[in-house]
Amino acid sequence: MEDRSKNYPSETLLHANWRLMEASRSSGLMGVIEEAGKIFSYPVILFDESFRVIASYPKEPEKIPELQCMIKNNRLGDKSVYRLLMQNKLKSSNYYAPFYAKRGICSGDPLILGELVHSGNIYGHLVVCPGNAPENKDDLELVSLVLHMIELNLSGSFRHDDYRSSSLALRLENLLNSGTPGYLLNSSIEAVSTSLSGRFAVLVAPLNNYAAQYALVEASLNKLREKYKNTVIVFHSHSFVILIGEIRYNASDPVLRPENNLTVNELFEYFEQYDIKPGLSNSFSDLGLTRYHYRQALLCARLGGELRLKKRAVFLDLMPLPALSVLIKANLGYTFIHPVFFQIKKYDREYKTEYEKTLCAFLLNIKDREKTAKELKVHKNTVQYRLTRIEELFDLPLDDSSAMLNLIFSACLLKLNPSLDERPEL
């Protein structure tokens, strides 16, 4: 008599199907991958179509000794990708069927590969790494089952935004990293531009060394991604990095500020409640420039924290301080301080005057005597008297444009680091 049981799913597969279904319902894509790893009892990794890690179990595959030779910088190396695809092509007549790669890309260990195909497009690659474990007859069916659960997410049956968020986050990482290959950079620009429209801006919120702030990372990423569909959000170099789309450009007020963009304002409010100081870049239209605008926002965020700014840190509002902060970090600040500041500092100490403070306020307010007086909380006649004495005592031509540019530059440096007016020891 024919054994008809072989045509039915095994008890293992039925149980796995139930577990994967529950994981998909409760935790979406990430839950499916985690549950798959537990079912297989060895590493399971989901790559996107460019072989960058989207999700894995364990969560940090680079730290798994057996996988260190194949995964670098959260992505398969180019040689590994080539060998994997060649193995797939040579092994199976059906390119999208799971298969065992008997000559694996990692020290000869076998791999099980499944292609994630949705609506005729390759969305990713599922790789299961059994190492030297013996081949299980259900392994291939389990791979197909996992791929099916992932595709259900893509189809919108469960949390279809999980894959989009994870995939776009990887694209943003490509745009932020200086060493991204050209072909990968171009594909990332194309992918992000199809999801976000209009002009863009970057908001960066660096974390301090507070355990409470770091505990917020995963919860915040999920919450912000769910709420703001016109953004791409990653946690990059100890900072939240948010690429914001649909930025409106107003020729009469071209500077992007929290008060003229609802999303930006809400993001500032969100991070400020946790004592995190964000910085905001200029708006831009070329995604190829994302890394430069990320640096703008990062410099502003750092300045906002260092200077304890009461207002929010916006790049154009703070210029040229972000550029000068780079100069100071290179220990070149003293080089560009006008020598008169050393003289005034010495005079103030000897005669208990406030000439340097007055001059710096005058320069940073671009020669506006009324604003200077208000900032110093003195009468504007007092400001005028002090400026006249400065000109007389130090032979300083405050009406000369070249001298003023030099002095303003120095005043900006001193705002960043007041100790620069101390004459350095030679």
Please state, as a whole number, how many other Cβ atoms lie within 10 Å of the Cβ of residue 111.
23
To the question of domain 163-315 being in CATH 3.30.9, the answer is no
Is the pLDDT higher at 180 or at 276?
Answer: 276
387 φψ region: left (φ > 0), alpha (ψ -120 to 50), beta (else): alpha
Is the pLDDT higher at 156 or at 94?
Answer: 156
Query: In terms of pTM, does the model score above 0.95?
Result: no
**Edge to edge, what strands does the sheet with 121-128 contain?**
53-57, 44-48, 121-128, 109-118, 99-106
Amino acid at 47: F
Given a cut of 50, is residue 78 above it in pLDDT? yes
Q: Residue 118's pLDDT is what? A: 67
- 287-326 pLDDT per residue, tens: 999 999 999 999 999 998 888 888 899 998 888 888 888 8
Three-state secondary structure call for residue 47: strand
Three-state secondary structure call for residue 276: coil
What the block records as the tokens of 125 is 């690659």
- 195-253 pLDDT per residue, tens: 888 899 999 999 987 777 777 887 788 788 888 888 999 888 889 999 999 887 766 66
Q: Residue 91's pLDDT is what? A: 53
Given a cut of 90, is residue 179 above it in pLDDT? no
Q: Residue 202's pLDDT is what? A: 96
Q: Which fold has domain 4-159?
A: Beta-Lactamase (3.30.450)
The CA distance from 414 to 410, in Å, is 6
What the block records as the tokens of 32 is 């499916």
Helices (H) and strands (E) in the chain, counts: 16, 12
Q: For the residues 383-410, what does the mean pLDDT come to? A: 90
- Taking Cα atoms as reference points, which of 177, 232, 188 lies closest to residue 48? 188
Is the pLDDT higher at 15 or at 156?
Answer: 15
Amino acid at 313: A
Please check whether residue 290 is in contact with residue 175, taking contact to mean a CB–CB distance below 8 angstroms: yes
The CA distance from 203 to 283, in Å, is 10
E strand or H helix at 125: strand 121-128
Q: Residue 326's pLDDT is what? A: 80
User: Among all chains, which residue has been given the structure tokens 């620069």?
Assistant: 420
The CA distance from 417 to 424, in Å, is 14
Domain spans, the chain:
4-159, 163-315, 329-421
Which CATH number describes the domain made up of 329-421? 1.10.10.2840
Amino acid at 129: C
H helices present in 155-232, as ranges: 161-176, 182-195, 211-215, 217-227
The CA distance from 51 to 71, in Å, is 10
Please check whether residue 314 is in contact with residue 321, taking contact to mean a CB–CB distance below 8 angstroms: no
Given a cut of 60, is residue 80 above it in pLDDT? yes
Please check whether residue 321 is in contact with residue 412, taking contact to mean a CB–CB distance below 8 angstroms: yes
Q: Residue 160's pLDDT is what? A: 46
Q: Are strands 279-280 and 313-314 parallel, antiparallel or unpaired?
A: parallel
- Taking Cα atoms as reference points, which of 51, 67, 57, 185 lies closest to residue 124? 51
The CA distance from 128 to 412, in Å, is 56
Q: For the residues 139-164, what does the mean pLDDT come to? A: 70
Q: Residue 186's pLDDT is what? A: 85
Q: What does pLDDT average to over the chain?
A: 81
Given a cut of 50, is residue 155 above it in pLDDT? yes
Is the pLDDT higher at 167 or at 41?
Answer: 41
Given a cut of 60, is residue 283 above it in pLDDT? yes
Given a cut of 50, is residue 3 above it in pLDDT? no
378: confidence class by pLDDT, cuts 50, 70, 90: very high
